[in-house]
């Protein structure tokens, strides 16, 4: 079905081919297989071309490498308000068609009709040269802590590299790795590669998104993790900062990127709660009757979003009796 309604988008030629197919076939329904960064942006463009658009994603949430469950759910809601259908936990079993595509079948038995299918299901490292040369490969070209392959004095950097069972596929990793290899090749020093902090800053369906470092400490070993979070579903704004031992370890900024420069500057550095309150615009409210505090950094709801009949949990004083401090 490739070229008969099934496409991938990697080059400008692919774009022209897709556009021509949509026009010639008078396509009305499109399915995007893959709800990652490229898949969602492609879905937005296809929807703008007046096609009924559905995204099917294998994982139980969108952007699992960049977002936690709560923010991913907000993103899904926002995408669906733009008229794009999102189906999660969707493993594609079969592409249907007879001469040209008619849809897909999922492993759970669901069928979805489509006139065109666009596959944006991640990247794959180009390892043919290394493999044919006898260099050890897996998903990528396997390297050691100095980015040296299984063959002495042959190094690898970039999207093709696999280190400790991980590949990166991001430009900052390539830049860090290149400096390490350059130092080794020039015999200036032996610098060990310790991995690259994952970071993404981009627009998804018109919304600003920054994701950097550790955003879900529940998957990390050891204690001492702290989370400061501001979630405003009404304005589609989600800001989350992750700390350990007073050091900034990661962040998600969605819908509002004002804190981006602060986050990039302070990663892996000591920060104070006062700094973080200010950058996230989270405040402390105090009951004028009993002195009880409502700390927005620890609560699910912002104070302004509490119902008007909300009362102080300690003395039952009315919400209007609280003052911002």
Task: Give tens-digit pLDDT for 24-73.
Answer: 999 999 999 999 888 998 999 999 999 999 999 999 999 988 899 999 99
Question: 4-17 pLDDT, tens per residue?
Answer: 899 999 899 999 99
- Helices (H) and strands (E) in the chain — how many of each? 7, 18
Strand bridging mode 85-87 / 52-56: parallel
Return the C-alpha torsion angle 201, 86, 17, 204, nearest 10.
Answer: -20
Q: What does the mean pLDDT of the chain come to?
A: 91
Pairing of strands 293-295, 284-287: antiparallel
pLDDT of residue 221: 67
Percent of the chain with pLDDT over 90: 66
Q: pLDDT tens digits, residue range 155-165?
A: 999 999 999 99
Closest CA to 210 of 239, 175, 169: 239
Which tokens hold the place of 103? Answer: 């849809």
Higher-scoring residue by pLDDT: 133, 199: 133
- Cα–Cα distance, 207 to 235 (Å, whole number): 11
Q: What pLDDT was estimated at residue 204?
A: 79
Whole-model pTM: value is 0.81
pLDDT tens, residue by residue, 198-246: 888 888 778 889 999 999 887 776 778 988 888 887 788 899 999 998 9
Between 61-75, 193-207, 248-262, 303-317, the lowest mean confidence (pLDDT) is in: 193-207
List, in sequence order, the alpha helices (H) in the chain.
12-25, 37-48, 69-81, 128-132, 171-185, 260-266, 273-280
């Amino acid at each position: 079905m490739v070229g008969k309604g099934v496409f991938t988008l990697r080059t400008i030629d692919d774009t022209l081919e897709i556009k021509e197919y949509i026009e010639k076939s008078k396509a009305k329904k499109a399915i995007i297989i893959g709800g990652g960064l490229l898949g969602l942006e492609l879905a937005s463009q296809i929807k703008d071309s007046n096609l009924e658009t559905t995204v099917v994603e294998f994982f139980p949430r969108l952007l699992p490498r960049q977002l936690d469950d709560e923010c991913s759910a907000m993103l899904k809601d926002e995408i669906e308000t733009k008229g794009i259908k999102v189906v999660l936990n969707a493993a594609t079993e079969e592409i249907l068609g007879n001469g040209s595509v008619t849809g897909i079948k999922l492993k759970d038995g669901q069928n979805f009709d489509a006139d065109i299918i666009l596959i944006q299901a991640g990247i794959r490292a180009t390892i043919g040269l290394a493999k044919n040369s006898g260099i050890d490969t897996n998903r990528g070209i396997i390297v050691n802590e100095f980015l040296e392959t299984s063959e002495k004095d042959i190094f690898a950097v970039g999207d093709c590299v696999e280190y400790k069972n991980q590949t990166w596929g991001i430009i900052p990793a390539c830049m860090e790795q290149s400096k390490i290899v350059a130092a080794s090749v020039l015999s200036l020093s032996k610098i060990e590669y310790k991995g690259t902090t994952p970071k993404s800053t981009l627009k998804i369906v018109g919304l600003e998104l920054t994701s950097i470092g550790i955003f879900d400490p529940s998957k990390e070993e050891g204690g001492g993790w702290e989370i400061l979070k501001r979630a405003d579903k009404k304005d589609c704004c989600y800001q989350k900062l992750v700390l350990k031992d007073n050091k900034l370890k990661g962040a998600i900024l969605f819908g509002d990127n004002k804190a981006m420069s602060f986050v990039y500057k302070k990663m892996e550095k000591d920060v104070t709660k006062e700094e973080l309150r200010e950058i996230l615009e989270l405040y402390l409210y105090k009951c004028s009757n009993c002195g009880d505090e409502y700390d927005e950094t620890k609560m699910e709801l912002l104070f302004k979003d509490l119902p008007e009949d909300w009362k102080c949990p300690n003395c039952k004083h009315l919400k209007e009796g609280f003052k911002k401090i």
